[in-house]
Structure 1
Amino acid sequence: MEWNETIIGELKALWAEGLSTAEIGRRLGISKNAVVGKAHRLDLSPRPSPIRRTDRPQGAQAPAPRVTGPTLAPLPSGPQTIAAPTAPAATTVSPVAIKPVAPRRLAAVAPAAVARVSACCWPVGEPGKPGFHFCDGAAVAGKPYCAEHAQLAYVKIRDRREDAA
């Protein structure tokens, strides 16, 4: 597509009418993206966003204004002194409102129970079928699988020198 003065003039006129970029492209026989690119290069006024609407339903509030610049007060420089907190004023409470609560005792936990033994996460069967489940064997420390499935999942890398021979 070659842009000449007549097509540029038509583009500017259709743009000023407020037509969509797709409609301008149809009328000029070019793509929408070509219209957008040329309008940008000609520095034509931007189109209003089809997403942001100016007409609001009744009862809708205006959006909150955008905050530009710093939102917090600047920190003071130099040494700072912090005032000691003051004691709150004493309040009187009737004895009826205070109910004694029995202290709760935590259950003793054996150290072996604290060390959690994780289960093997190897899938067995086909997901979605009735017999699908996970291996559920004791997992090897630091791995998500049991010893048998860890051998399948973690294959040792062969030495390249073996391939060269």
Structure 2
Amino acid sequence: MSAIAPDLINTAAALWSEGFTATQIGERLGLTRNKVIGLASRNRQLFPGRTEGAAEKEQQELAQIESLWGTGKTQAEIAQSLGKSFSTVNKMIRSWPERFPKRSKKDLNSVKAAAKPKAVDVPSPPPRRKPDPSVFSPIEGTTPVLLWEAPNSACRWPVSTADAPEKAVCLHVCGVDAVHGRYCAHHAKLSFGPGTASEREADRLLLALGGA
């Protein structure tokens, strides 16, 4: 069995102290896994024992750091995100240069710009429907009555006596005898105009509330 140079042993010990597994150390130094394990067992002062699962934990933490590194975060930001010290993160990054390629400021800006949520175009609301002012004019030859004075049998269609009924608050109703539900024959026909029932009702409410 050929002797292993002291410098190689020291390098292996340094990697061991940083959490590298025997397989990983062997791959870096051109040794077999068993040879690294043999080195560790013969040089316990350089290769202190590690708790079970320590290497796996190191690799999990390394993967987390690598993932955050890929999003463009700085070492300080990574340390803060993972609750670790800056020196710990820096040491792991320096120990694995192949997994943490150097980044220019331009690269960082590009990565962060790509990760930034894109603005969503919100479509403009449809134009507000306006009621036809003529439908709220009194029927020719009739006299509108105030809403609170109209008998139960009166047509409840809102009407306005103003010159611009679309801009006035309707306090009057048709007043003609209702023959179709709440409305007279004329206004019952208007109530089934274009649009849905809710849209037609909205037209009436708009004027009744003074909005046009």
User: TM-score normalized by structure 1?
Assistant: 0.29
Larger proportion of helix:
2
Rg bigger for which structure?
A: 2
User: Which structure ranks higher in relative contact order (CA pairs < 8 Å, sequence separation ≥ 6)?
Assistant: 2
User: TM-score normalized by structure 2?
Assistant: 0.23
